[in-house]
Amino acid sequence: MNQLVYLVPLFPLIGFLLNGVFRNYLPKNLSGLIGSGAILVSFVISVLLFIEVKNGLVINQTLFDFISVGELSVPFAFQVDQLSSIFLLIITGVGFLIHLYSTAYMHEERAPHFARYFAYLNLFVFSMLLLVLGSNFVIMFIGWEGVGLCSYLLIGYWFKNDSYNNAAKKAFIMNRIGDFGFLIAIFWMILVFGSTNFADVFSKAATMPVGAAALTGITLLLFLGATGKSAQIPLYTWLPDAMAGPTPVSALIHAATMVTAGIYMIARSNVMYTLAPVTQTVVAIIGLATAILAATIALRQFDIKKVLAYSTVSQLGYMFVGLGVGAYTGAVFHVMTHAFFKALLFLGAGSVIHAMHHEQDIRNMGGLKKHLPITHITFLIGCIAIAGIPPLSGFFSKDEILAGAWSVNKIYWVIGVIGAMMTAWYMFRLYATTFLGKFRGTPEQEHHLHESPAAITIPLIILAILSFVGGWIGIPEVILPDAHALEHFLAPVFAKSNELKQAHHIEHSTELMLMTVSVAGALIAAIIAWIKYSRKTDMESRGFGKVLENKWYVDELYDKIIVRPLYATGKFFNRQVEKNLIDWLVNGIGKLVHYGSRQMRWMQSGQVGSYVLLMVLGMLVFFVLQFFIKK
């Protein structure tokens, strides 16, 4: 088993190659089968690996020498430990469900494009697996950029639409800005540690003093990478636009897996972060700010996918809060539960959009409860889970993060709870507007309303079950002693950090009180939103709502202060510096020579008389000069 790690990414790679190369020749059901089958095989192997590492093993496999120059050696090597194993299961498990779902959702596409879609999707899974399997930062970076590419390709999958292309481009470039930070962090790492291998870097980092400048710098730069990939302030604006891609893509890449890469990276480097308290504070504050900002925007969105997108940004913010306060297990826990319920919600939204014939505005929906019974009930489970209402999964993971926040700074907790209330509010607003009340679409749409086929509902049901029970692997100490299976499982990964950081302990009574407050808050918000929006649909935003609907005008701001100036500078260089300065000089010198030689032409007139005259004049000048110089 230990030497089979490479098989996990291999199958998606083969799937990509088959679908990519033979996209013109494969019938649709075959390319769907290849695409989904590859991921299923990977999932099976991942389960086997999981059983292996459950016993505390760490599997290492070196494939070949990737780069080896002087002291630096970067092997192409994989490492499976408890952390990567969790991610493997999420990526291949949720990934498979979404592939299955896609076979039905994308059935309108023509065969070559259908195959192209699955090729991209498999390439994505391959890159994502590289990202979590790599045993050094360079391999991680390869996967990191690879998922960015696939995200770009899939957002712009319908490439004839220019606004989709712009969204794709925006995603790639904002990610690139983050990757820039990641890259510099790698350079710095090589300078300080002489290696990028996790084992070397972390063991050397552990010997450094708390707050060492290099550690703070490296962790901040890595975090810049994370803000790009995981859509945090200031690089979050690409994610809502990324909803231009097909809905299963939004579920897989822009909710369940790729956007959690930043959390994986920081959890992976937890030793360095624990030793850099400044960075931790920055991570926590950025996470908190993002969580709140995105939640406020989600309150006033009308596009079903946009609400979910901002909700994703907001939930990712919570995960960063967890990382920032040192609740690493909680952050990873939330990645997992979020993967379940957010994938569920997106796929549910996809089912709705599918039934509504590509309608995404919730103002034109309503009353879908009776037409889409399975979608409705699973969506409701997703909403309860994300709102953090026990005993569904979201409650456990969010609670763990909030408890961690309280132990570091009580204000973090207060803000976190406010955000959690907003989450409950906008989710139930979404639920009520979509599924309750009266149908507000066209009669034609109503006529065509029907529940989606099995390939769509089966993933929904499985994800709904997972969203329901997924939290039970992390039951907090106060409720049931010694029942936090996930914490035990991940303990080896975070052992060093737990050793290094001073433990903040919360009294059990306090923790119970905090839990009650946050659950009560979420419940109240959910119930009010449910009642309010099932009676009356809000059609238009007024006053401050307008600002929220327009996302605080951040896109406009970025456009004004970054995008436009950049293009203007390019144009300026092209016109002023290149044409009017450099080329002017070059052509000017040419013209000067030309002009000069034309002026000299009269000297070569061919008349002996003038030659003699010139000669005499020249000699005269020479003598005069000679005379003066001598003096």
Partner 1 sequence: MTLIWIIAIFFAGGLLCWAAQFVNRVLIKWIALIAAVANLALVGAAYAEYRNGSAPGDWLIDYTVNWIPSFAIKFHIALDGLSLVLLLLTAFLGVLAVLCSWKEIKERVGFYYFNLLWTLAGITGVFVAMDLFLFYFFWEVMIVPMYFLIAIWGDSNRRYASYKFFIFTQAGGLLMLVSILALFFINHANTGNYTFDFFELQNITLSVAEGRWIMLGFLVAFVIKLPAVPFHSWLPDAHSEAPTAGSLILAGLLLKTGAYGIMRFVITLFPQNSAEIAQWAMLVGVIGIIYGAMLAFAQNDLKRFIAYTSVSHMGFILLGVYSFREMAFDGVVMQMLTHGISTGALFAMAGMIKERLHTREMGNMGGLWTGMPLMGGLALLFAMASLGLPMMGNFIAEFLILVGAYEVNPTLTIIASIGLVFAALYSLRMMQRVFFGPRTTPDRHPEPFLRQGELREGSAHSASAVYDLSAREFTILISLSVAIVILGLFPQPVLDSVNTVVQSLIQKNTP
Residues that bind partner 1 (CB under 8 A): 20, 23-24, 64-70, 72, 112, 138, 141-142, 145-146, 149, 152-153, 156, 159-162, 165-166, 168-169, 172-173, 176-177, 179-180, 183-184, 186-188, 190-191, 566-567, 569-571, 573-574, 577-578, 582-583, 586, 590
Minimum CB separation of residue 590 from partner 1 in Å reads 7
Closest by CA position to 73, among listed 134, 133, 132, 136: 136
Question: Measured between alpha carbons, how far is residue 490 from residues 30, 84, 396, 484 in Å?
Answer: 39, 10, 16, 10
Q: Which is nearer to partner 1, 126 or 379 (CB)?
A: 126
Minimum CB separation of residue 116 from partner 1 in Å reads 8
At 492, list the tokens. Answer: 């080896």
Minimum CB separation of residue 221 from partner 1 in Å reads 10
What's the first-to-final CA gap in the chain, in angstroms?
Answer: 98
C-alpha dihedral (536, 541, 544, 547), degrees to nearest 10: 140
CA 537, CA 589: separation in Å to the nearest integer? 72
DSSP-assigned letter for residue 361: B
Question: Measured between alpha carbons, how far is residue 75 from residues 14, 87, 137, 139 in Å?
Answer: 22, 22, 11, 9
- The identity of residue 82, as a single letter, is Q
Hey, how many other C-beta atoms are within 10 angstroms of the C-beta on 523?
17
Minimum CB separation of residue 73 from partner 1 in Å reads 10
Q: Which is nearer to partner 1, 95 or 146 (CB)?
A: 146
Q: Which is nearer to partner 1, 218 or 463 (CB)?
A: 218
Q: Which is nearer to partner 1, 536 or 575 (CB)?
A: 575
Q: Which is nearer to partner 1, 198 or 406 (CB)?
A: 198
DSSP-assigned letter for residue 625: H
Minimum CB separation of residue 575 from partner 1 in Å reads 8
Q: Which is nearer to partner 1, 161 or 605 (CB)?
A: 161
Element (H, E) at 391: none
CA 68, CA 228: separation in Å to the nearest integer? 29
Minimum CB separation of residue 169 from partner 1 in Å reads 5
Minimum CB separation of residue 253 from partner 1 in Å reads 17
Closest by CA position to 429, among listed 567, 538, 295: 538
DSSP-assigned letter for residue 67: E
CB 528, CB 426: distance < 8 Å: no
Q: Which is nearer to partner 1, 177 or 206 (CB)?
A: 177
Q: Which is nearer to partner 1, 58 or 173 (CB)?
A: 173
The beta strands (E) that lie in 31-181 are given as 59-69, 72-80
Closest by CA position to 407, among listed 316, 468, 335, 327: 327
Minimum CB separation of residue 364 from partner 1 in Å reads 27
Mapping DSSP to helix (H, G, I), strand (E, B) and coil, where does residue 60 land? Answer: strand
Q: Which is nearer to partner 1, 21 or 617 (CB)?
A: 21
CA 415, CA 437: separation in Å to the nearest integer? 32
Minimum CB separation of residue 148 from partner 1 in Å reads 8
